[in-house]
Structure 1
Amino acid sequence: MPKVSVKVKWGKEMYPGVEVNTDDDPVVFKAQIFALTGVQPERQKVVCKGVTLRDDSWANFKLTNNALVLVMGSKEEDVPAAPVEQTRFVEDMNESELATAVIGLAEGLINLGNTCYMNATVQCLKTVPELKNALLSYDKSSGGGTAGELTAALSDTLAALEGGGAGACAGAAAKLLRALHATAPRFAERGPAGGLAQQDASECWAEIIRALQARLPAAPNQPSNRSTVIEQYFGGTLDVELVCAEAEEAPSRTTETFLQLSCFISQDVKYLQSGLRSKMSEQITKMSQTLGRDAIYTKTSKISRLPAYLTVQFVRFYYKEKESINAKILKDVKFPLELDVYELCSPELQERLMPMRNKFKEYEDATVETSLSSKNHGDSTKDVKKKDPTRSIPYWFPNDVGSNNSGYYRLQAVLTHRGRSSSSGHYVAWVSRGDAWLRCDDDAVTPVTEDEVLKLSGGGDWHCAYLLLYGPKILEVPEVDDKPEPMITEHDDEDPPIALA
């Protein structure tokens, strides 16, 4: 009988009717206890009939219906202290305060013991609506081995975050962790004290993306030559040219695919754009057929297909042999809220991007003109914008849903690390929500400003940006009539100009 109903006693509090599924790992039960008591799983000692529950096994811990389970452990904030501010009750909150309180309760993922790297990854990926919708509709009975289990667990986690409540989120996160351990056993490593060891968020991101790439097929009847949702919305291509610097050889040209770009941090790199540029032209060593030995080649890459969602990794960690750790580069590297990657693209792609880029410029010019006209007539530009309904122009090429047809991006998620090594410290997700930003620090979700997000560029022991997720910049134009905006094509320069009502 894997499912039983027990009584949980913590201090003076009694929680009857707690359902426990012993087919799940004990950490799921501890997550349920956290949702009830607020005591973090790593601070819990769970006892039944004199036997203490382990994290990895139910051995000798026999649960029966109506059994009494004792929980020992305190919340971190239970240190006696004078109240900083007066308690605010729900009925006394205004709309803004209530929204903040609800966000914190509904959208966080508890830390199951050094699982902040996984929580931050999930919160960032959740900002991609096409990926979220594909996961929520995923057929969990379709199998697929460990990749299928990980995909199904992520689907359950997103469903819980959409409104399952704190208990549902805790259970779903525990199942996701178990699926991640099954897919990549290195994430189940334990530290000297016996608890789960901290892991690298970038490696977790790559492992989850790899599983989703195997299990989420692209939607049928969409014009795209990409077979999976990941390849469709996250995948790009590079035109690569290799030129030998030591011998006269014909340049070799190939095509490579990518799911993220890397920003290498050198002494000269102060901005994301320069870090990306330096990676696009680099010196490598490879075998020369002409010389019969290794030789220096110049590798030049140009983007020939832009994905809708562009992932950028700051290469902040390097292996320090003496200490046997991945040490961290703390250098300050600025990144923008809006990114233009036009200069990184091949000439052919640049030509295809121009029609949509012209649309953006045309609209911006028209907006400035309207603003000046409104000022001359004493009107409020904000009021004009508020009155006018708008529509979105597709951000992809007509024959390639999931691409980016302008080269313009807007930042929508930042995954940060605080600490000196990838195997220690703490990971946090910072995600956009409309015109606002949220800081997702495990189960604590709080509003932040754009200025706070831009301060994540590094330079000290505060949180440093490790992974950036840019989404397509959407062109919103006034709904001036009932005719839909024509689809942008590569030869759409003669479209009628955009009019502002």
Structure 2
Amino acid sequence: MSSKITIKNAGKVYEIEVGASDTGLIFKQKIQEATNIPPERQKILVKGGKVNDEDEISSLALNTKQPIMVLGTPDKGLPSKPVEKQVFLEDINQNQLFKVGSEPSGLINLGNTCYLNSSLQALFQINDVKEKLEKFNGSSGANANASQSLVLSLKSLFGQMSKKHESVNPTLLLTIFRNVFPQFAERERGFYKQQDAEEAFSQLLSTLGETLKVKDYFRISFKSEQKCLALPEEEVKTDYEDSFKINCHIDIKTNFLRDGILNGLKETLEKYNDTLQSNTEYEVNRRITRLPKMLTVHFVRFYWRRDTQKKSKILRRVQFPFELDLAEMLDESIKLEKIKIRDELNKIEKDNIDLIRDFKKSKKNDNKLSPLEQQEEEELKLMSIKSKFNDDFAKSLPSGIDLQTATENPSSVYELSAVITHAGSSADSGHYQSFVKDDKDLDGERWWKFNDDKVSSVNREKIETLAGGGESDSALILIYKSKGF
């Protein structure tokens, strides 16, 4: 009995038919027929990390629902498609140039548009959003509504960014974005004004949430209890509310992200009381009842100053962690289960330390391989380690939780994935940048810095300096990803 297995190589997908008794060598030969990659150069990413020539395909428990990634370079001696006409460097424009290496694409600043560029780079690193965009086929042209047009232009832009062009021009998206949200088209002395990156990010996220149905990936839910301080015997009022972000409020005592979040979960407000027939103070306490897969944290750094008629900035230094645990902020209805899964996650991470250690060691000792072969070998091992970690974590979860389709964080722990920063003293001036973690680096040591079309690599220590404390780069938005995905 035969079955069909889908493989993916260099962005192309191939369907290969294999028999139940086919060996690993036969499988590799069939891959060669489809891709021109000789068996000795093939790196097949499956559980365990390697397909031996003598293995029977039926014993490998391959997932037929998802493409299997195959790394390797084709044999130039084998027949291939006709050679394309040669194009000279001086005959192509700047945006057609591809980077040599692994650097992501930068975005051209079109005049005070760093607020939008930094938001787009932060969104681009969210795989769930990119996958939904790739599948989106909304109406275009006259049949498209404003939101659909914006999402389609974002799909096109992300497609260009995925090809790792030297730099990408976001003019079309910017034009549609300003048409949909006129506040971003404000001018001063004939020039477009600088805008708030948090507002731009929120508008983009809201549009994507409605059009692509990705709200649940970002939705955090709260249970709110209001208690009248003047009448403690009065029944406590309970409400439930949703948000796409959690705020970090900053005052003179705020030194850490945890402090700012806790400040935002508790407040005192004044409202009318029917019993007293007058306004009185209420204490409001919020607890988290749902944790999303992607957590957006907003540092509330800007406030309106009447004397200057501008949004001024709170420059205070507020440190944030690379790993964020929200267990203490959870409602009792979900707290114990989240903590239990968190502890299991930590145990699995410790069990995989040896694999990571071996990976680092092999990177230093693989001097015999060419740069391309070494890159392929590292990608293979990296995929293998991540696959084992995900499989172990999936097995530890309660029945009913599927990591492939989950939109909620099964534990209480997050890992930092991206940071949007602001340099300057006012939201209407200064400069925005974004910093994104390199997902191919297991240690989290390498990050990408996006300064519009200038892209560079920075280390973890640089990210720690983004806590603020002056007019230099300070974190405005943090994007955390659920640990274990």
Q: C-alpha separation between the residues in 2 aligned to 1:165 and 1:366? A: 39
User: Who is 2:417 aligned against?
Assistant: 412
User: Who is 2:469 aligned against?
Assistant: 459
After superposition, the Cα gap between the structure-2 partners of 1:187 and 1:382, relative to the gap in structure 1 and judged at 3 Å, is: closer
The 8 Å contact of residues 232 and 401 in structure 1, kept in 2 or not, is answered as: no
* Deviation, structure 1 residue 164: 6.8
Q: Quick check: 1:215 aligned with 2:211? A: yes
Q: C-alpha separation between the residues in 1 aligned to 2:250 and 2:165? A: 41
The 8 Å contact of residues 423 and 430 in structure 2, kept in 1 or not, is answered as: yes
Q: C-alpha separation between the residues in 2 aligned to 1:279 and 1:129? A: 29
The 8 Å contact of residues 249 and 290 in structure 1, kept in 2 or not, is answered as: no
Tell me the secondary structure at the aligned position of residue 141 of structure 1. coil
Q: Quick check: 1:446 aligned with 2:451? A: no
Alignment of 1:145-164 (within 5 A): 145-163=145-163
User: Who is 2:432 aligned against?
Assistant: 427
The 8 Å contact of residues 327 and 339 in structure 2, kept in 1 or not, is answered as: no
Q: Quick check: 1:186 aligned with 2:183? A: yes
User: Who is 1:110 aligned against?
Assistant: 108
User: Who is 1:175 aligned against?
Assistant: 172
Letter of the 1:191 partner, please give it: E
Of 118, 121, 126, the residue aligned with 2:119 is: 121
User: Who is 1:358 aligned against?
Assistant: 343
User: Which 5+ residue runs of structure 2 have no aligned equivalent?
Assistant: 1-88, 364-380
Q: Quick check: 1:326 aligned with 2:311? A: yes
Tell me the secondary structure at the aligned position of residue 307 of structure 2. coil
Q: C-alpha separation between the residues in 2 aligned to 1:365 and 1:163? A: 36
* Deviation, structure 1 residue 130: 0.5
Q: C-alpha separation between the residues in 2 aligned to 1:364 and 1:118? A: 36
Of 272, 275, 278, the residue aligned with 2:257 is: 272
Tell me the secondary structure at the aligned position of residue 191 of structure 2. coil
Q: C-alpha separation between the residues in 1 aligned to 2:95 and 2:191? A: 20
Q: C-alpha separation between the residues in 2 aligned to 1:384 and 1:407? A: 33
After superposition, give the CA deviation of every residue in 1:415-452 in whole Å (9 maximum; x if it has no partner).
Answer: 00011110111100100112220001100010000110
Letter of the 2:421 partner, please give it: T
After superposition, give the CA deviation of every residue in 1:389-434 in whole Å (9 maximum; x if it has no partner).
Answer: 5240248971782100111100000000011110111100100112
Q: C-alpha separation between the residues in 2 aligned to 1:344 and 1:398? A: 22
Q: C-alpha separation between the residues in 2 aligned to 1:431 and 1:364? A: 22
User: Who is 2:223 aligned against?
Assistant: 239
Q: What TM-score do the two structures reach when normalised by structure 1?
A: 0.67
The 8 Å contact of residues 117 and 428 in structure 1, kept in 2 or not, is answered as: yes
* Deviation, structure 1 residue 293: 2.1
Q: Quick check: 1:297 aligned with 2:307? A: no
Letter of the 1:233 partner, please give it: Y
* Deviation, structure 1 residue 364: 4.9
The 8 Å contact of residues 349 and 389 in structure 2, kept in 1 or not, is answered as: no
Alignment of 1:16-27 (within 5 A): none
User: Who is 2:165 aligned against?
Assistant: 165
Q: C-alpha separation between the residues in 1 aligned to 2:144 and 2:222? A: 30
The 8 Å contact of residues 227 and 283 in structure 2, kept in 1 or not, is answered as: yes
Identity of aligned residues (%): 30
User: Who is 1:203 aligned against?
Assistant: 199
Q: C-alpha separation between the residues in 1 aligned to 2:205 and 2:296? A: 11
User: Which 5+ residue runs of structure 1 have no aligned equivalent?
Assistant: 1-13, 19-31, 38-89, 91-96, 217-227, 372-378, 476-501
Letter of the 1:154 partner, please give it: L
Q: C-alpha separation between the residues in 2 aligned to 1:177 and 1:425? A: 20
After superposition, the Cα gap between the structure-2 partners of 1:338 and 1:349, relative to the gap in structure 1 and judged at 3 Å, is: same
User: Who is 1:141 aligned against?
Assistant: 139
Alignment of 1:1-80 (within 5 A): 35=95
After superposition, the Cα gap between the structure-2 partners of 1:157 and 1:313, relative to the gap in structure 1 and judged at 3 Å, is: same
After superposition, give the CA deviation of every residue in 1:432-479 in whole Å (9 maximum; x if it has no partner).
Answer: 11222000110001000011011000001210100000001127xxxx
Q: C-alpha separation between the residues in 1 aligned to 2:346 and 2:109? A: 45
Alignment of 1:305-344 (within 5 A): 305-344=290-329
Q: C-alpha separation between the residues in 1 aligned to 2:150 and 2:350? A: 47
Superposed CA RMSD in Å reads 3.0
* Deviation, structure 1 residue 165: 3.2
Q: C-alpha separation between the residues in 2 aligned to 1:258 and 1:380? A: 42
* Deviation, structure 1 residue 155: 1.0
User: Who is 1:6 aligned against?
Assistant: none
Q: C-alpha separation between the residues in 1 aligned to 2:259 and 2:236? A: 25
Tell me the secondary structure at the aligned position of residue 437 of structure 1. strand
The 8 Å contact of residues 105 and 161 in structure 2, kept in 1 or not, is answered as: yes
* Deviation, structure 1 residue 241: 0.5
Aligned length: 361
After superposition, the Cα gap between the structure-2 partners of 1:164 and 1:382, relative to the gap in structure 1 and judged at 3 Å, is: closer
Q: C-alpha separation between the residues in 1 aligned to 2:275 and 2:292? A: 37
The 8 Å contact of residues 95 and 165 in structure 2, kept in 1 or not, is answered as: no
After superposition, give the CA deviation of every residue in 1:104-160 in whole Å (9 maximum; x if it has no partner).
Answer: xx5100000000000000000111101111112211326552111111111111111
* Deviation, structure 1 residue 35: 4.9
